[in-house]
Structure 1
Amino acid sequence: MAYTNVFFRQTRVFWCWLCLPLLATGCMVGPDFQRPQAQVPAAWAAPTAAPAEQELAQWWTVFNDPLLTTLIERAMRANLDLGKACTQIRQARAARGVAAGGLGPTVDATGSYRRSRSPVPPDGVVSDLYQAGFDAGWELDLFGGTRRSLEAADADLEAAIEARRDVMVTLTAEVASNYINLRALQQRLAIAQQNLATREHSVALTRQRQQGGLISGLDRVSAEAQVATATAQIPPLEAAARQTIYSLSLLLGSEPASLLAELTPTAPIPAASPSLAAGLPSDLLRRRPDIRQAEARIHASTARIGVAIADLFPRFTLTGAVGTQSSDFGKTFNWANRVWSFGPSVSWRLFDTGRSQAAIELRHAMQEEDLISYQQTVLAALGETENALIAAAKEEEHRQSLDQAVVANRQAVEMATALYSSGQTDFLAVLDAQRSLHAAEDALAQSNRAKATDLVALFKALGGGWGEAGQGRDDLAGN
């Protein structure tokens, strides 16, 4: 009976110590995370439509180009940078599991055998000792150091998720921009080939007039020189188009020539509505993944200040063991040979030459650095959006003027050719008109490209492109 009373008294002590974590769960040293306040304007300085609800997750559909949509979807499934970002999410999730494991106890299975000799007269005594059992330990998180570590791991996981979303935003913009550049190069190549055909027609015309004795050989030689010049403009455009296809292939995670058959046929430059609905500047704080990633990093660095502060306080640990021991292996697992022990322990670092204080100061400085990085990210986002808005608006004005120039230059070429054929003007007027037309048509093609890529840049600046199209990669990341 006395043994039973002692056992129950010791058990009550054990359970009292076991309840300490429950009593101390509200105690966590260190600062709590406060969402940073960013200074953003009430409205955009550049011209924009009235704020409206706009679907940004799949913004590329505004171009109404099925092939562009297909390429982006394929990039979401196979892009290597996106795959790396997904593995980083898995790493962050595993690191969180490691941090969460620190909140619970650990249990180890143990076993040992020891043979010893004692110098007992006359010949000494040789004995065997067999032991088997379990050891348990539980460090009580009285001051919240482990919980702060878990909080930091949660923030790191959030930052990794936002980093993957930021890769998606960049990836969709890169695929769209390269695709638009390809179509623009193909259009410029067609213009150059048409210009070459026009120049060759002029050579035939000058030869005919020279044979009729109406002109000297100078006009023919000038026309042939223009044919050579027009021919020289074609190879660089062909090379640039091929290189752009290679770039698209790499973005899709495939070898460079894999898209040649699919993208070599020409198609128009994608066009979308010029209406720009950018919403409010404050919307960027919730839409742009890089801003949310920077905020998550502040959260993580704030939590790690608490981890460093917790090292200043004592550590309380509950330890226990239960098992059996015997000098006879056959009786090792008999309950009568049981042994057990439990009790608390405490350790407190009293002196470390200022290392703990330096660690706290380090964490404070890292938090301040993350806060400055957040402010830089917000300012960069505002600048990118303002630049994209003004570029898109002014490029439309530029394109309209070039469109009028092309129409006028075509009329000038027709008039100059007709006048030259009838002998009413010299060949220089024809050359000037043809040069002006080719320059205007080429500039219009580049303006159409710039208009489309400016719109892509705007969608990227607004944080669009990380919605449903990337669900496959979300699954890979274990979302």
Structure 2
Amino acid sequence: MKSLSPMHLLPRRLSCLLVFASTALLTACASLAPSSASLRVTPVPATWSSPAQGGQSATALANWWQRFNDPMLSSLVTQALQANTSVQSAQAALLQARAQRDVQAANTGPSLGASASAQRSQPGSSDASSRFQAGFDASWEPDVFGGNRAAMSASDADARAAETSLGNVQVSLAAEVAASYIDLRGLQTRLTIARSNLALQTETLQIARWRNQAGLASSLDVAQSVASTEQTRAQIPTLQTSVAQSLNALAVLTGQAPGALQAALGTPAAVPLAPGGLALAFPAETLRQRPDVRSAEHRISAALARVDAAEAARYPSFRLGGSLGLSALTLGTLTDGASVLRSLLASVSAPLFDGGAGKAQVRVQEAALEQARLNYQATVLSALKDVEDALVALHGNTERLARLQAASTAATQAELLARQRYQSGLIDFRTVLDTQRSLLSTQDSVASTQATLSADHVRLYKALGGGWAPDATANAR
């Protein structure tokens, strides 16, 4: 048996040493892999401050605008969700996030490439020569410390955050369209009331003039009636301007040019009223329903994964590669077995000194994680405030509307009696003016409060997270 010299044994010993060192390094570094921290606990109350009403469950509010029983409102919201530029931009961002996730997923597996080349060279006065090559190259980087898996998790969390961001845009847009539509109908109702009161005041002015001509009233009555009539007439252009601006706003929200909805919405209609009987989910259930809270959760998951990826980047990386190709002087001999070229490469690299850049990058991602956590807490608190504010406003405006409606009924009766008694000469003209001003004010307040009350329902639906379907958003392409 042939003996081996120490020089012959050296390569084998070095190979064994590298294997043992690599194994020890893998074990040591794997034990240092960071673990994902849990979310900080954000205090969430068990119930809302305002008592819930019996009826509809808050978890079934994906198409809450249909509860107003206004076909035009449903049509506008549907069109806005399809054509609004904000929704389309959010959809494009979702497609981008999903594509980035697919790119990251593709990077975790082996890669295979093909190449071919032809070379013609002539050194000095020597004869020209040719060389033809063709082959395949393959490589794979084993994800020993989970860096690629962490990057994949971050991309996946970003994609889920983009889905919920799209849902948040849909929720906000549906609420904005509904609020603008309600505002339009409220302004149209107020314009109708102003015109109706102007007709009454014009009739009263005519009566004052007749009585003045007959010597039964002074010119002061006529002057006061003219002043009151012109003040009411001055309100009409302001309301007309607001109506036109609301129409333009709705047109833009639905992806159309200003003025496009004049024919469809120019005719006045009643303010859509939401039916009663809305049951509120518990605060924790509402938070799960809201897309902005879900998006904040996904951002934390992405930040956690990036911390893991930054930690893994500080450890050694391994790479396996190989190639199989053909090389020949002529195309005809390219398939000759003697021209087959084979190679196999295994490599390992580890950062030895980087000036602390690796640790600094970990701190960068940890700071981003802390920002994501704080943003989540702020989002939760804001969501709770939105619901509480909507409930308080809804309760207060409901009571206010009841009082104003009673006042409007009384003002209508008072105005009728005042005109009749003035015609009979039983009261002075100042009483007539006061009752007519009160009638216009109370009727205008009733119309404004009805619109505000409907808008309060819209804000409550939005605060509860209604207006999006998570499954439909996740499947959107």
TM-score normalized by structure 1?
0.90
Matches of residues 102-113 of structure 1 in structure 2 within 5 Å?
102-113=107-118
Match of 1:46 among 41, 50, 55: 50
1:374 to partner: Cα distance: 0.2
Displacement, 1:115? 4.8
Write the letter of the residue equivalent to 2:161: A
Gaps of 5+ in 2: 1-18
Residues of 1 paired with 2:460 and 2:403: CA distance?
22
Q: Give the structure 2 partner of residue 131 of structure 1.
A: 133
Deviation at 1:352, TM superposition (A): 0.9
Q: Which residue of 1 aligns with 2:355?
A: 353
- What pairs up with 1:252-331 in 2 under 5 angstroms? 252-331=254-333
Cα deviation, residue 36, structure 1: 4.8
Mapping of residues 147-158 of structure 1, within 5 Å: 147-158=149-160
Distance 1:251 1:382 in 2: 27
CA–CA distance in 1 between the matches of 2:224 and 2:57? 58
Residue matched to 1:344? 346
CA contact (8 A) 1:409 1:437 kept: yes
Quote the residue 2:94 is aligned against: 89
- Pairing of 1:440-455 with structure 2 (within 5 A): 440-455=442-457
CA distance in 1, matches of 2:240, 2:368: 50
Question: Structure 1 36/58 Cα, relative in aligned 2: closer, same or farther at 3 Å?
Answer: farther
Q: What is the CA deviation profile of residues 231-285 of structure 1, one whole-angstrom value per residue up to 9, with x for unaligned ones?
A: 1000010110111011111111011111110001111111122334211111122
| Superposition deviation, residue 109 in structure 1 | 1.4
* Contact 2:39–2:373 (8 Å) recurs in 1: no
The question of 1:56 aligning with 2:68 is answered: no
Q: Provide the residue aligned with 1:13 in structure 2.
A: none
Match of 1:9 in 2: none
Alignment of 1:303-452 (within 5 A): 303-452=305-454
Corresponding position of 1:243: 245
> Could you tell me whether the CA contact under 8 Å between 2:55 and 2:277 is conserved in 1?
no
State the one-letter code of the partner of 2:100. Answer: A
Identify the residue that residue 77 of structure 1 maps to in structure 2: 82
Instruction: Sort the Cα spacing of 1:206 and 1:118 in 2 relative to 1 into closer, same or farther, 3 A.
Output: closer
TM-score (norm 2): 0.90
Shift of 1:50: 5.3
Give me the whole-angstrom Cα distance separating, in 2, the residues matched to 1:340 and 1:27: 37
Please, which runs of 5 or more residues in structure 1 have no aligned partner?
1-15
Q: CA deviation at 1:56?
A: 0.5
1:117 Cα deviation after fit: 6.5
**Which amino acid is 1:111 matched to?**
A
Deviation at 1:38, TM superposition (A): 2.7
Q: Measure the CA separation in 2 of the matches of 1:455 and 1:174.
A: 12
**Which shifted more, 59-68 or 384-393?**
59-68
Q: Is the 8 A contact 2:55 2:278 kept in 1?
A: no
CA contact (8 A) 2:118 2:132 kept: yes
Q: Which residue identity is paired with 1:199?
A: Q
Aligned CA distance change for structure 1 residues 268 and 28 (closer, same or farther; 3 Å): farther
Are 1:186 and 2:191 counterparts?
no
Letter in 1 for 2:326: T
1:51 CA drift (Å): 8.4
SS in 2 for 1:449: helix
TM superposition shift of 1:474: 7.0
State the alpha-carbon separation in 1 of the partners of residues 367 and 379 from structure 2: 18
**d(CA) in 2 for partners of 1:408 and 1:452?**
24
**Aligned-residue CA RMSD (Å):** 2.3
Q: Return the letter of the residue paired with 1:91.
A: Q
> 1:169 and 1:91 mapped to 2: Cα distance?
21
Structure 1 outlier segments of 4+, above 6 Å:
none
Partner of 2:260, secondary structure, is helix
Residues 56 and 278 in structure 2, CA contact (< 8 A), matched pair in contact too? no
Does the 8 A contact of 2:77 with 2:174 survive in 1?
A: yes
Length, aligned pairs only: 451
1:167 maps to a residue whose letter is: V
One-letter amino acid of the counterpart of residue 419, structure 1: R
**Paired AA for residue 391 in structure 1:** A
Call closer, same or farther: CA 1:408–1:114 in 2, change over 3 Å: same
The residue number in structure 2 matching 1:456 is 458
Q: One-letter code of the match for 2:53?
A: A
Q: Quote the offset at 1:349 in angstroms.
A: 1.5
